[in-house]
Amino acid sequence: MTTEGGTAGGAVPESGGTTDGERRRLELEKKRERYVWLYLGYFLFGIHIVAFVMIYAVKHAP
């Protein structure tokens, strides 16, 4: 039995298997993952700066 749209009753239309909500969730997840990598990069960069300052302080201590 088909409805006016041409799909069987209860069937999901072939659109790649993703709904609008799922697509938005995937886009948001990708955006958040990008931010995680940026924060990780800034954190690691900051740790190196602190380490270099500490090495400088130890080498130039009286």
4-59 pLDDT, tens digit each? 555 555 555 555 667 999 999 999 999 999 999 999 999 999 999 999 999 999 99
What pLDDT was estimated at residue 6?
55
What pLDDT was estimated at residue 62?
85
What pLDDT was estimated at residue 30?
94
In the chain, where are the structural domains located?
18-62
Q: What predicted TM-score, i.e. pTM, was given to this entire model?
A: 0.57
What are the Cα distances from residue 26, in Å, to 17, 36, 39, 60, 62? 13, 15, 20, 51, 56
Going along 4-55, which residue ranges are E strands?
Answer: none
The three-point CA angle 2-22-28 to 5° equals: 160
